[in-house]
Amino acid sequence: MKKIIILLTFLLTASISSYGQIFKPVKWTTSVKKVSAGTYNLIATATIDAGWHLYSQTVPKGGPIPTAFVFKENDNYSLRGKTIEGKGHTVDDPVFNMEITFFEDKAIFTQPIKLNAKGKTKIIGEVEFMVCDDTKCLPPDYVDLEFTIE
């Protein structure tokens, strides 16, 4: 009898855990491109699973959480302007009842910087973002980003 109870408990636990899924529909990669002497672009690329939307950095109030970048301050570099995003799709969203820009498949974000020191420099950043598909939105997520300039 004890073995049956243990077996039933195991099977129940296994079946419940199989229903819970962790969605990670966005994968982030980083790269660095030299623009001129001492000037670089930090490039964060989001690869987005089919059917999901990643939102722009500029979203009207009351809409989804916009994508936002924060870079850890460091004396070795300084930011030059704001993070630039590629062209997305702008639509009248029936869920949020507003015009919203989002990205499908891939999104590229570029942050221009100026180096203040010579030598290898590591820049740490973080991106906050929200994604939705046609039936649900996931809570905002945070991903650490690392850029290395040789």
Task: Provide mean pLDDT across the span 12-29.
Answer: 66
Q: At residue 8, does pLDDT exceed 70?
A: no
DSSP class of residue 2 equals H
**Among 108, 106, 140, 147, residue whose Cα is nearest residue 125:** 147
φ, ψ (nearest 5 deg) of residue 11: -65, -40
Beta strand segments in the chain, E? 26-36, 39-48, 53-55, 68-71, 77-79, 84-85, 89-93, 98-103, 106-115, 121-129, 131-132, 141-149
DSSP 8-state assignment for residue 137? B
Overall average pLDDT of the 78-98 stretch: 93
pLDDT reported for residue 15: 38
> Does pLDDT of 72 surpass 90?
yes
Write the single-letter amino acid at 2: K
Is residue 113 within 8 Å of residue 39, measured between CB atoms? Answer: yes
Please say if the pLDDT value at position 14 is more than 50: no
Residue 18 scores a pLDDT above 60: no
Per residue in 108-142, pLDDT (tens digit) is 999 999 999 888 999 999 999 999 998 899 999 99
Q: How far is CA 140 from the centre of its chain?
A: 9
Q: Are 93 and 134 in contact (CB under 8 A)?
A: no
Interval 54-77 mean pLDDT: 95
Contacts of 50 (CB under 8 A, 6+ apart): 105
Q: What's the pLDDT tens digit per position in 28-49? A: 999 999 999 999 999 999 999 9
Q: Band of the pLDDT at 20, cuts 50, 70, 90?
A: low
